[in-house]
Amino acid sequence: MTAGKVKKAVFPVAGLGTRFLPATKAVPKEMMTVVDKPVIQYVVEEAIEAGIEHFVFVTGRNKGVIEDYFDIQYELEATLKARNKKTELNVLSSILPKAGSTSFTRQQEPLGLGHAVWCARDIVGHEPFALLLPDMIMKSEVSCLKGMVDLYEVSGGNVIAVEECAPELAHRYGIVAPGEKIGEGFRITGMVEKPPQGTQPSNFFINGRYILQPEIFEILSTQESGAGNEIQLTDGMLKLLKQQNFTAYHYRGETYDTGAKDGFIMANVAFALDRPDIRGLVEADLKALISALK
């Protein structure tokens, strides 16, 4: 098992985003905006806060705009400079990753999350890495991944962030079985992807943030499919659990599933209410809208 600092993060961004058609016909779902930033920007910022230095995107066809987003846009910058738009130029420079700190690889076929992660194996190499599912964006004082990195420094091994869900929603997620308590979390003794209603080992669901050891790649290379006939990461992790420790980080902040319509809208509302420049207007409009509801 490899100890040491988690420097690389993997972002699987190959999904088709069918739940957001027609918008996602031409715009990748990760580029949909929450207030004024694309969803992917929130997740990258969370990784930066946790000390991540290299960003690995597992993309697919029609996702080229994600790569463009993390590059310089000369024409736009030249125009902004000519117009002396300093604020806008600062926004652009603040989100530009360091040269050489991003990598892009393609998942050629949508064979599942486990397969998408496996596609990053050569870029990650033999070191622990973070995995962030961009659908889930989070709002908390200490970011979810930062809390996990702090726990990882004590626990080592693999760390998965979990939250509690209503029992009737457990079949939508990966669910873990809890063992002894450790700091802000507990040891994981088992896990299952999308358990049939009523069979879940707990109500702790995997919320889309992971710190994994590179041995997971070897296990995923067997390409066995599980729930939904997809190559499931949870199945791979369950196998790795026989060789290595898995610790759950019990995240207690807010999470928005921007892959679902209600979650996406709530993320927009919540992040807008957090923004001093627009909070007043949004709050007043929301209150009026709600009081007019029949």
Contact 23, 12 (CB under 8 A): no
Cα distance between residue 196 and residue 262, in whole Å: 24
For residue 136, give Cα distances in angstroms to 209, 235, 281: 9, 21, 26
The residues with which 182 forms a beta bridge, in sequence order, are: 185
Compute the least distance from the CB of residue 167 to ligand G1P, in Å: 15
Residues 167-206 close enough to bind ligand G1P by CB under 6 A = 173-174, 193, 205-206
Task: Count residues binding ligand G1P (CB under 6 A).
Answer: 13
Among residues 157 and 208, whose Cβ is nearest to ligand G1P?
Answer: 208
Contact 10, 107 (CB under 8 A): no
Contact 50, 149 (CB under 8 A): yes
- Taking contact as CB under 6 A, which single stretch among the options 21-29, 129-137, 141-149, 286-294 is the one that binds ligand G1P? 129-137
Contact 95, 208 (CB under 8 A): no
Q: Does 129 bind ligand G1P (CB under 6 A)?
A: no
Sequence-distant (6+) residues with CB within 8 A of 293 are none
DSSP string computed for 174-227: EEEEEEEEETTEEEEEEEEES--TT--S-SEEEEEEEEE-THHHHHHTT----G
Q: Does 116 bind ligand G1P (CB under 6 A)?
A: no
Among residues 107, 234, 247, 258, which is the contact residue for ligand G1P, using CB under 6 A? 234
Among residues 80 and 131, whose Cβ is nearest to ligand G1P?
Answer: 131
Q: Does 132 bind ligand G1P (CB under 6 A)?
A: no
- Taking contact as CB under 6 A, which single stretch among the options 67-75, 102-110, 128-136, 260-268 is the one that binds ligand G1P? 128-136
Q: Does 130 bind ligand G1P (CB under 6 A)?
A: no
Among residues 136, 145, 159, 176, which is the contact residue for ligand G1P, using CB under 6 A? 136
Q: Which residues of this chain interact with ligand G1P, rule CB under 6 A? A: 113, 133, 135-136, 173-174, 193, 205-208, 233-234
